[in-house]
Amino acid sequence: MIKKIYLIGNPNVGKSVVFSRLTGVKVISSNYPGTTVGITKGYLSLGEEKIEVVDLPGTYSLEPTSKAEEVAVSLLNELPKQEIVIINIIDSTNLERNLFLTLQLIEEGYPVIACLNMCDDTAHRGIYINTEELEKILQVPVISTCAVTGAGIKFLIGRLKEAHIQERNKSSHEERWKEIGRIIEAAQKLTHKHHNLRELLEDASVRPLSGLLMSIIVVYASFKIVRFLGEFLITKICDPVFLNFYQPLLLRLNSALGEKSLLSHVLIGDLINGQIDFKQSFGVLTTAPYIEFAMVLPYIFSFYLVLSILEDIGYLPRLAMLLDNLLHKLGLHGFAIIPVLLGFGCNVPGILATRVLESRRERFITSTLISIGIPCVPLQAMIFGLLGAFGGFYVFGVYGVLFSLIIIIGVILNRTLKGYSPEFLLEIPPYRFPQPLILAQKLYYRIKGFIFEAVPIVLLGVLFINVLMYVKAFDFVTGIFAPVIQGLFGLPKEAVVALIIGFLRKDVAVGLLGPLDLTAKQLFIAATLLAVSFPCIATFIVLLQELGLKDLVKAALIMVAVTIAVGTILNFVIIH
């Protein structure tokens, strides 16, 4: 009787794709080690029974080296070995290295079934695996699968019950590698293949000169595509829909509500020259949906499309290697670039992804740097939307300030925090062609996440702000902070509201700056401060969960200090 099924395997062998195939639960998969940092659970129907399936973070061995791996290994011993089945996912294109974990699992007495994944990728690499021979040697069921297309998954399910506990002597690591050598000799044949274009590109991307050149092209092209696609969606689709279809409806609603009524104030907001201005009116039905659907959503779409393609191709670990040197100066190593890149979409998944980093110190530095220096897509989209009107110079200015802050704070943290920078040791995956279906699912999953999490908060937030403004509740708070805001930062005192709302959501906060008629310099300072000051509440909760209270307080103090310093310096250094 099987009570639980665990999926375990080396990093980046496609565990999450197999998991999706078995359970129907959609999870994010990418082509780099460490996509899964948490535990995902789902159910597989096997006849009448429903069995829990657990997708574990990737690990090279049963001796954990990071927090994510520790979790994976400890979970395996929750239930007695007789009641579980372990599906060991193996990358067919790299059988030799993967067998180390397989043998370890068998020796430890787990009931194992081996799943040779990515079997479609072997033939053109000149790899031929004799699964029957392998099955005979290992004494466990061996099934070839290609999870991205679903091939072989049925056979895998059909043979689950054949998994059984074996009595095997435990061997030393050296002996195990010798045994693997013999197994490979017997069960795998390699034919020599000439280097193809893909392999040439794979190697070029990890060489200093060609790698740097490639990274500049990739990063520049990605930025351009995100910007172009985002703008295209806004001007060609979102704006026309809002202006031509939605606005007339709202105007009719407004006259029905009666101008100057509380309802009109809350739902529609202020009319600018007798017209609804979606960027300034600030009503629950006007600016709130406009911000989310016509300013932010197009960029969410274009950003995640480009990021997902880069992830699935397998480019990101190469970028990590190129940036290793720079990141060492900040007390991190190359791999920290992956949480940082995810943080550009939304800080929450970025901070969660820091779990793949080995030490607590690295996780603290990375999380703090993400919270301060990495603006999420909603914030960036709003900065493009509002500050972009004054010229690209200011927009680049914000990025310039943020980038300098990351370097400065990183170097200071690295010098002052106890501990050392850990070593960089990362597997560079082969390039893979992104599977359109997997890509579309991932994009859908991420956009859905945005809509369901962000939109309700934005609508409620705007409602809340409008009611408070109507009863003039903010006057008290603006009065208290006026000296700092006006005296140090050179902003009108109403900007306090925006900075406070920034704690709720950054896009709404920038939206609040719209109606204030700020000068370019003021908007530049306010936008930069929104980026560096406290992250939004969702990020705060994850920070608390990942860092603990003590480190969160430490990070928060750094944020307050940085906010005050940056605001003051920018105000007094920029004259115009």
Partner 1 sequence: MKRLSLVKMKESGKGKVAEISGGSALANRMMSMGIYKGREITKLSHFALRGPVAIKVGRSTFALGHGVAAKILIDVDTE
Out of 24, 41, 49, 63, the only residue in the binding site for partner 1 (CB under 8 A) is 63
The amino acid at 466: N
User: Closest CB to partner 1 among 330 and 536?
Assistant: 330
Burial of 518 (0-12, 13-18, 19+ CB in 10 A): buried
User: Closest CB to partner 1 among 101 and 518?
Assistant: 101
Phi then psi for residue 330, to 5 deg, are: -100, 10
Cβ pair 327, 511 in contact under 8 A:
no
Report if residue 215 touches partner 1, rule: CB under 8 A: no
Report if residue 182 touches partner 1, rule: CB under 8 A: no
Site size toward partner 1, by CB under 8 A: 35
Q: Structure tokens of 80? A: 């007695």
Q: What is the DSSP string of 375-410?
A: --HHHHHHHHHHHGGG-HHHHHHHHHHHHHHHHHHH
User: Closest CB to partner 1 among 335 and 524?
Assistant: 335
Q: Which of residues 221-260 bind partner 1 (CB under 8 A)?
A: none
Nearest distance in Å: CB 320, partner 1 = 7
Out of 49, 83, 96, 162, the only residue in the binding site for partner 1 (CB under 8 A) is 96
The amino acid at 26: K
Nearest distance in Å: CB 350, partner 1 = 21
Report if residue 100 touches partner 1, rule: CB under 8 A: yes
Alpha-carbon torsion angle 423, 429, 430, 431, nearest 10:
-110
CA distance linking residue 345 with residue 377, whole number of Å? 5
3-state class (DSSP) for residue 5: strand
Nearest distance in Å: CB 554, partner 1 = 27
Stretch that binds partner 1, among 1-9, 89-97, 155-163, 266-274 (CB under 8 A): 89-97
Cβ pair 80, 61 in contact under 8 A:
no
DSSP letter for 339, please. H
CA distance linking residue 345 with residue 104, whole number of Å? 38
Report if residue 334 touches partner 1, rule: CB under 8 A: yes
CA distance linking residue 24 with residue 393, whole number of Å? 47
User: Closest CB to partner 1 among 88 and 563?
Assistant: 88
CA distance linking residue 81 with residue 73, whole number of Å? 13
Report if residue 324 touches partner 1, rule: CB under 8 A: yes
Report if residue 321 touches partner 1, rule: CB under 8 A: yes
Cβ pair 354, 366 in contact under 8 A:
yes
Nearest distance in Å: CB 353, partner 1 = 18
Report if residue 202 touches partner 1, rule: CB under 8 A: yes
Report if residue 333 touches partner 1, rule: CB under 8 A: yes
Report if residue 211 touches partner 1, rule: CB under 8 A: yes
Q: Structure tokens of 403? A: 């980038």
Cβ pair 7, 59 in contact under 8 A:
no
458-493 as b/e, with b when 16 or more CB fall inside 10 Å?
bbebbeebbeebeeeebeeebeebeebbbeebbbbb
Determine how many CB atoms are found less than 10 A away from the CB of residue 392.
10
Q: Which of residues 397-456 bind partner 1 (CB under 8 A)?
A: 423-428, 430
Report if residue 317 touches partner 1, rule: CB under 8 A: yes
Out of 84, 101, 143, 365, the only residue in the binding site for partner 1 (CB under 8 A) is 101
Out of 61, 130, 280, 435, the only residue in the binding site for partner 1 (CB under 8 A) is 61
Report if residue 196 touches partner 1, rule: CB under 8 A: no
Report if residue 265 touches partner 1, rule: CB under 8 A: no
Out of 78, 83, 175, 203, the only residue in the binding site for partner 1 (CB under 8 A) is 203
Report if residue 297 touches partner 1, rule: CB under 8 A: no
Stretch that binds partner 1, among 157-165, 200-208, 227-235, 265-273 (CB under 8 A): 200-208
Cβ pair 21, 7 in contact under 8 A:
no
Stretch that binds partner 1, among 71-79, 320-328, 400-408, 468-476 (CB under 8 A): 320-328
Contacts of 355 (CB under 8 A, 6+ apart): 37, 38, 66, 67, 68, 363, 546
Out of 80, 194, 195, 208, the only residue in the binding site for partner 1 (CB under 8 A) is 208
Beta-strand runs (E) in 193-333: none
Helix (H) or strand (E) segment spanning residue 176: helix 173-187
Considering only CA atoms, which of 241, 245, 263, 246 is closest in space to residue 254? Answer: 263
Out of 328, 360, 432, 554, the only residue in the binding site for partner 1 (CB under 8 A) is 328
The residue assigned the tokens 């936008």 is 527
User: Closest CB to partner 1 among 3 and 328?
Assistant: 328
User: Closest CB to partner 1 among 28 and 428?
Assistant: 428
Nearest distance in Å: CB 426, partner 1 = 5
Report if residue 198 touches partner 1, rule: CB under 8 A: no
Out of 177, 390, 445, 481, the only residue in the binding site for partner 1 (CB under 8 A) is 177
User: Closest CB to partner 1 among 340 and 377?
Assistant: 340
Nearest distance in Å: CB 135, partner 1 = 21
The amino acid at 340: V
Nearest distance in Å: CB 108, partner 1 = 14
Pairing between β-strand 142-144 and β-strand 188-190 as defined by DSSP bridges: unpaired
Burial of 432 (0-12, 13-18, 19+ CB in 10 A): middle
Nearest distance in Å: CB 318, partner 1 = 8
User: Closest CB to partner 1 among 209 and 573?
Assistant: 209
Cβ pair 61, 8 in contact under 8 A:
no
Report if residue 175 touches partner 1, rule: CB under 8 A: no
Hey, which residues does 388 pair with through a beta bridge?
A: none
3-state class (DSSP) for residue 481: helix
Report if residue 354 touches partner 1, rule: CB under 8 A: no
User: Closest CB to partner 1 among 334 and 434?
Assistant: 334
Nearest distance in Å: CB 514, partner 1 = 45
Q: Which positions touch partner 1 (CB under 8 A)?
A: 60-61, 63, 65, 93-94, 96-97, 100-101, 173-174, 177, 202-203, 206-208, 211, 317, 320-322, 324-325, 328, 333-334, 423-428, 430
